[in-house]
Amino acid sequence: MIPHAEGQVQIPIESELEERLAWFIRLRWLAALGIFTGALAAGWLVRLEITLVPVYLTGLAVLAYNTVFHRYFSSAQQHKHGLSRHFIYLQIALDWLALVFVVHYTGGVLSPLILAFALHVIIGAILLSQRSCYFLAAFAAVLTGLVAALEGSGVWPLSHSSRLMTDPLEGITSPLNLWIANAVFFAIIAYLATSITRKLREKEEVLFRSERALDRAYKEVDALFKIGQLVNSTLEMNEVLSLVAKNVAGLMGMKACFIRLFDSPGGELHVGGSYGLSREYLDKGPVELDKSPMDQATLTYGMMEVYDVGEDPRFQYREEARREGIRSALCAPIIAKERILGVIRIYSAEPHRFTEPERALLKNLANLGALAIENARTYAELKALSEERIWFARVTHHQLRAPLAAIQGVIEAIPYAGDLTAKQKELLERCSRRVTDSFDLIRDLLDLAAAQRPLEGGEVESVHLGQTLQKAIETASERARSKGVDFATAISPGDIVVQAQAADIERIFSNLLDNAVKYTPHGGSVRFEIAGENGHVLAKVSDTGIGIDPRDQERIFEGYYRTQAAKDSGEIGTGLGLSIVKRLVDRYGGKLELQSAPGQGTCFVVTLSRRLDPAHAPAIQRAMS
């Protein structure tokens, strides 16, 4: 079945088959006409008294069934229901039945009309598959053989007059008649051949045109994709605008491209980015919307074209444009989220009428540009916000610490101002301890805030672990010794380098080491191991300390959460250390694992990538999404 259901798309091969079927039916009208005129002409041409009545009857039969076919075909087309391949076979079968009669009554198997079978085989080749065509040829051979057998055996005897045609040349009275008979046959062959070729050429042309259209569409999509990638490769507004201008001009084959943006909604248009325009032209002055009907029209109607910018009064700077060598302009609004950001213009060097595809392309490019501009704006806003936050955090840090530093200074000075009683000394020590705790809390709070801020590209450096962690290791080791805790390190030889910020790496491990020593009682041990493993760094801080209850293991990374065992140990802590560690490890896309059992000890394993995964580097971009 050739599917042709309502709503279904008709593929080209089906419509082509339908066309050929229509052609086949049209051809049959000619064939019927040929039977009538041929029979009449044969009488004159070969001067035979052939039995014309059965031939005419066959011709009438052909007309009759072709009428039925024509009606059926038209209704199938009208109602768009499928046409069966059997429809073609039925037509050929009936044609051949008619042909058998015509051949029989015009001289049997030796009738020159037997060549009409050949014509059918050719038609079959056009309508059906190659295999079907060979089948038709074989069937024609069998059919003519059957006719010959029936005639020869006398089952279906040739009539007297038609028998005379057994040697058709015998009946041809002159070379002229022979030539006419040949010419008619040649004409039929020529008609068939040319109609096939014409159809082929038409198809070739259609194919060529669709190929060209497809090629153009592909190039446009490809260019749009490339521009999309390119303009999103940077978030710096100036770069984005220059890239958009350059690529739009290049893609559309234009001399120049100019982007103007509103400084504020409804404000003035100022130069955003440009390509192919001189500094002098760009500096010609601001575009006042009241004096630029071109921009007004663009913003009102969506798109605007000026054939000659040097002559058109709608163009504000005609003289400058003439000097710049720009002729025709097409202008489109840049719209993002239903807000007009500005306008984009392309200029040709020669007078140019912009085509519909060019207008559509500029519109698409303007939309793409709008997206990139919007992204760059958001980025700039976020960056400003982020800088403000950093500044605020720094000032806050200073403001919070300064009075504490003064208090601590005064506490330190008091013993030098005169002798103190033992109680006074003890009270001062209490003060001093609380001030130190407050310093730690401020430091942890600010570190926690800093750890949450995503990293920007360029903020990382090569951090040599052995060197960077030396101080943290010394501090922990010193503390362990004074506490009677065994402290050992196993740092694999060779330089282990990670891409990070040194302060972050130091903070991660000083917090873990500090905790390990803090929560390991006298007589216990703390071990610190670092090893490099195929692109990763594996660092392990293990202790034989108080351990962490499985119920607490999830919560210890929350801010201000301290386990009961930690509080009972008498050690002071802000409860922020591990959340800082967790956030810093996350900041670099690393992994933090914990194994612990109460009373047995704790082991933290930190896995960091040596190279910073690009997905984690420009994290400000992630923060935006």
Partner 1 sequence: MRDGKYVILALDDDPDILESLRVVLEANNYIVDTARSAEEGLRVYRSGKPDLVFVDLMMEEIDSGTSFVKELRALGNAAPVYVLSSVGDNLNMATDFSSLGLTGVLQKPINSTLLLSLLKTKLK
In single-letter form, the type of residue at position 34 comes to G
**Would you say 301 or 416 has its CB closer to partner 1?**
416
In order, the DSSP letters of 305-330 are EES-TTT-TT-S-HHHHHHHT---EE
- At residue 533, the 3 state secondary structure works out as strand
CB of 575 to partner 1, least distance (A): 20
d(C-alpha 2, C-alpha 207), whole Å? 22
**Would you say 190 or 406 has its CB closer to partner 1?**
406
DSSP 8-state symbol, 417: G
In single-letter form, the type of residue at position 225 comes to F
**Would you say 339 or 471 has its CB closer to partner 1?**
471
Tokens 């002055």: give the residue: 285
| Residue 327: exposure state from Cβ atoms within 10 A (0-12, 13-18, ≥19) | buried
User: For residues 325 and 255, is the Cβ–Cβ distance under 8 A?
Assistant: yes
CB of 408 to partner 1, least distance (A): 3
**Would you say 133 or 404 has its CB closer to partner 1?**
404
**Would you say 48 or 460 has its CB closer to partner 1?**
460
**Would you say 401 or 479 has its CB closer to partner 1?**
401
**Would you say 360 or 410 has its CB closer to partner 1?**
410
CB of 608 to partner 1, least distance (A): 24
d(C-alpha 36, C-alpha 51), whole Å? 13
d(C-alpha 608, C-alpha 616), whole Å? 12
Site residues for partner 1 per CB under 8 A:
394, 397-398, 401-402, 404-410, 412-414, 416-417, 435, 439, 443, 446
CB of 580 to partner 1, least distance (A): 14
Region for 479 from its dihedrals, namely left if φ exceeds 0, alpha if ψ lies in -120 to 50, beta otherwise: alpha
**Would you say 245 or 472 has its CB closer to partner 1?**
472
CB of 561 to partner 1, least distance (A): 25
**In the numeric block, which tokens belong to residue 380?**
């700039």
DSSP 8-state symbol, 2: B
CB of 443 to partner 1, least distance (A): 7
CB of 419 to partner 1, least distance (A): 11
CB of 424 to partner 1, least distance (A): 16
DSSP 8-state symbol, 545: S
* 482-to-201, 487, 488, 496 alpha-carbon distances in Å: 98, 11, 14, 30
**In the numeric block, which tokens belong to residue 483?**
């506490």
Query: How many whole angstroms from its chain centre is CA 346?
Result: 26
**Would you say 413 or 422 has its CB closer to partner 1?**
413
d(C-alpha 517, C-alpha 571), whole Å? 11
**In the numeric block, which tokens belong to residue 486?**
């065994």
CB of 352 to partner 1, least distance (A): 56
* 327-to-153, 242, 284, 322, 359 alpha-carbon distances in Å: 89, 22, 17, 7, 17
Give the containing element (helix H, strand E) for 477. helix 470-483
* 153-to-100, 124, 141, 149 alpha-carbon distances in Å: 16, 31, 18, 6
**Would you say 532 or 577 has its CB closer to partner 1?**
577
**Would you say 97 or 431 has its CB closer to partner 1?**
431
CB of 472 to partner 1, least distance (A): 15
**In the numeric block, which tokens belong to residue 618?**
């420009």
CB of 434 to partner 1, least distance (A): 13
Helix, strand, coil percentages (3-state) for the chain, rounded to 5, are: 60, 15, 25
CB of 438 to partner 1, least distance (A): 11
Q: What is the number of alpha carbons within 13 Å of residue 112 lying toward its C-beta?
A: 17
**Would you say 196 or 442 has its CB closer to partner 1?**
442
User: For residues 262 and 254, is the Cβ–Cβ distance under 8 A?
Assistant: no
**Would you say 14 or 459 has its CB closer to partner 1?**
459
Pairing of strands 525-533, 486-491: parallel
**In the numeric block, which tokens belong to residue 108?**
């049997």
CB of 586 to partner 1, least distance (A): 22
CB of 405 to partner 1, least distance (A): 4
CB of 432 to partner 1, least distance (A): 9
**Would you say 89 or 439 has its CB closer to partner 1?**
439
In order, the DSSP letters of 335-376 are EETTEEEEEEEEE-SS--PPPHHHHHHHHHHHHHHHHHHHHH
Write down the H helix ranges in 106-129.
116-127
d(C-alpha 49, C-alpha 37), whole Å? 15
d(C-alpha 545, C-alpha 548), whole Å? 9
Region for 592 from its dihedrals, namely left if φ exceeds 0, alpha if ψ lies in -120 to 50, beta otherwise: beta
**Would you say 414 or 538 has its CB closer to partner 1?**
414
